[in-house]
């Protein structure tokens, strides 16, 4: 139609996947299934590879090994800076542990954590490797908004998985699972009833975390959710930068008289000399 602006061809965001260890290739494949160009799913192994990224996925694997390798490669400070920058970061399984502020059940000597996610996570909450399992869970409303209304459940794969046992008030719960039989918690709801579920997926601002492995299923809704978080965050950052540039440009173009205070005192020449003495 006449008068309509031509559509703007906005390039796809660039999303990094920490490729130290774990299921990073599967995450890259899921992002491609969501329509992200292959070259925009970047495997990250060095600090320089974080440059120009709009989001980052920290995959499953062995959290202590990931932390040790990241520290040895000088990646840990860069990862902390990236997370603190406000760009979206998603941790799955070991990545959830890495993002947590507090971790229980750590190996002797502990491990480095990126932090930022106000939760306490219990490593290997569901047991060892032999206790790994798959299950169907109710689809959270955040995924239903992505076109999943006709699919009331999603497939969750837990491999020597952690769980969130405590969260801060700014953390939104996206998914929970019934506690294994015989397991109890010390937490209770507002009515004093013991809680029989444990948290396995949360969001806190631009941080997303899941205790399970969406990248190992054919369901790409979790990756679509993260891609939407990244795109919205990039668009807001671009709009803020454009507004800041526009304001700066207008200030530069304004004549000096327009930015001088109108009520400055005016002295006669003699008064000026006296004033400066």
* pLDDT values of the chain reduced to their tens digit, one per residue, 277 residues: 434 443 445 689 999 999 998 899 999 999 999 999 999 999 999 999 999 999 999 998 887 788 888 888 889 999 999 999 999 999 999 999 999 999 987 766 567 788 999 999 998 898 888 889 999 999 999 998 776 557 899 999 999 999 999 999 999 999 999 886 655 554 544 555 556 789 999 999 999 999 999 999 999 999 999 999 999 999 888 888 777 765 555 556 655 545 444 444 443 444 444 434 4
- Of all helices (H) and strands (E), which one includes residue 153? strand 153-158
Sign of the CA dihedral 151, 152, 156, 161? positive
Buried b (16+ CB within 10 A) or exposed e, 73-95: eebbebbbebbeeebbbbbbbbb
Q: Would you give the distance in Å from CA 233 to the centre of its chain? A: 10
Whether the Cβ atoms of residue 146 and residue 223 lie closer than 8 Å to each other: no
Q: What are phi and psi of 81, to 5 degrees?
A: -65, -40
Instruction: Show the tokens assigned to 130.
Output: 């032999």
Q: Which residues are catalytic?
A: 93, 213, 215
Looking at the domain that runs over 15-235, which CATH code has it been given?
A: 3.40.50.880
């Amino acid at each position: 139609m006449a008068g309509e602006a031509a559509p703007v061809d906005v390039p796809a965001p660039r999303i990094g996947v920490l490729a130290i260890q774990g299921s990073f290739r599967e995450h890259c494949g899921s992002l491609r299934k969501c329509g992200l160009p292959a070259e925009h799913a970047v495997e990250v192994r060095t600090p320089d590879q974080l440059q120009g990224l709009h989001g980052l996925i920290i995959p499953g694997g062995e959290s202590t090994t990931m932390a040790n390798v990241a520290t040895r490669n000088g990646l840990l400070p860069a990862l902390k800076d990236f997370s603190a920058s406000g760009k979206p970061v998603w941790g799955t399984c070991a990545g959830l542990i890495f993002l947590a502020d507090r971790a229980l059940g750590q190996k002797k000597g502990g491990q480095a954590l990126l932090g930022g996610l106000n939760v306490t996570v219990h490593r290997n909450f569901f047991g060892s490797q032999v206790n790994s399992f798959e299950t169907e869970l109710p689809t959270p409303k955040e995924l239903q908004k992505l076109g999943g209304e006709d699919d009331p459940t999603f497939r969750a794969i837990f491999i020597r998985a952690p769980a969130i046992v405590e969260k801060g008030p700014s953390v939104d719960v996206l998914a929970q699972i019934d506690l294994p039989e015989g397991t109890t918690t010390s937490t209770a709801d507002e009515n004093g009833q013991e809680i029989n579920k444990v948290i396995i997926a949360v969001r806190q601002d631009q941080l997303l975390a899941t205790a399970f492995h969406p990248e190992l299923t054919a369901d790409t809704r979790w990756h679509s959710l993260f891609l939407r978080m990244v795109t919205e965050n990039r668009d807001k950052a671009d709009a803020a930068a454009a507004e800041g540039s526009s304001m700066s440009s207008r200030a530069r173009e304004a004549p000096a008289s327009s930015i001088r205070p109108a009520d400055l005192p005016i002295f006669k020449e003699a008064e000026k000399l006296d004033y400066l003495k």
